[in-house]
Structure 1
Amino acid sequence: MKNIKRFRVLVMGRANAGKTTILQRVCNSTDKPKIFDGRGNKVHSYGVETYVETEYFKRGYHDIKHELVFRSNLGFVFHDSCGFEAGSAEQFEQMKEFVVDRATAGSVNERVHAIWFCIPMTESHRTVTAAELKFFNECDTKHVPVMVLLTKCDSLELEAIEELEDEGLEIEEAQEKIAEKERELLERWHAHIKHELDKCRYLPRGYVTLQKMHQESADCTVLIQSTANVMNEEGLQRLLISTQQSNILLCVHYAVWK
């Protein structure tokens, strides 16, 4: 474990789930990541480095084997299976093969150490689709921990306002109860998602709710700590905690706890 150099994460979920923003916050960056082909070569598209192209993050422009790295924190390397819910059966099989191969790779540096599966609350009416069920039923994740990330939770504010208005509250009175109603809605959708995924063959190891990720000061401590807590190997736990650079107290706490 002493030779592990980078913590490798596969980020999954439908398009527009806020995946790139989360990675930026984890790495304390506002830049787009650099993209490499796995052999250290920068990826190019029509003579232009792809990592400066927003188009890369749109459906059809990615390769799950490509490595995404942020200059601000070279200790993380990410893979993106973006927008897979609209992909072909062939793309799904490629993703499954990648997960199995990288979860059990002989070299620990080449392994995927964790999977972050994003479900956006902007689409709370379709939190668990056929795509999520297909992944958790068919993709063998026994050898890699999967964390479900409930993203864009701030979008529940509008839903909260609408429910309060339906209950007959006046605008001023509703304003006082929006935060409470948001928490209620988040708990409701969290419970629903867990209930549905608990029926699947391969269960996630945990759930994390993320809010205000659009703010540069957003705190990802709960994501890092929750991921570390479900790691089976202490060396990987230490690597993850030490790789994150935004919370020194977390490093100290974890070192003392261990």
Structure 2
Amino acid sequence: MESQRRMPGSTEDSESASDDRAYGGDRSGGGEPKAGYILVVDDDPAMRRMVTGYFQDHDVPASAVANGQDMCRYFKGIHPSAIILDLRLGQENGLDLLRQIRSSSDVPIIIMTGHRRDEIDRVIGLELGADDYVTKPFSLRELLARVRAVLRRQEMGRAARSRDPERGGYRFGGWQLERRARQLLDPAGNAVSLTKGEYALLLAFLDAPRRPLTREHLLQATRVHEDIFDRSIDVQVLRLRRKLEIDASAPRVIRTERGVGYVFTLAVEPF
């Protein structure tokens, strides 16, 4: 990360002087964060100073904490608009913190991983509800752009829900998806749990039944950033198949279209 420290707003000379400012006055726990702030969760002090300093230099309020305990303190006050979460937090597991956040909040989350080979962590993070990811070392300019992008997507989603509240649902092959409750019922009427990603993927299929859908289309429909490897969608499809198919190894509901993507084969009835 040495090269990153010499980026505008994060030089070694300015890090010490901007330390208190970068933490938004909250480092000691005595101050209150500003509304609309970004929370950085990372156990590396230099990384915290670098990211929060750069964000504040670009008029984006930011605060930072080193661990999950301090992160929870922020959820008792003014909630952050987005969280940048490192998955490697010393003795803590960032994936456990991600799961904890998602159990009670839909705040946008961008996860940070230390190596490009940590593919499994990125896949699990996305499946647990992360909105995007970056790999260290990264460009601060790109990170800020990604934060702004997830905030725009969230705002667009809120606007769409206000115009068209989720009502009704879909019936297909004896199954039923209730949109308001976000609940999937099997043919026997039993509730089947879905992750955030699985729900979004199923909606994409139900909105376009019996039509081949490309991986790119499904990536956009599940709000995963376009440059994320296609295998993340393949993993989501596999998990959804295990819940819908009698035999996931010989799928009949979600069929692979070689060279294209996937197709949902059942007739779908909106209600």
Q: TM-score, normalised by structure 2?
A: 0.35
TM-score with structure 1 setting the length: 0.36
Q: Max radius of gyration: which structure?
A: 2
Q: Which has the higher contact order (CA 8 A, sep 6+)?
A: 1
More helix by share: 1
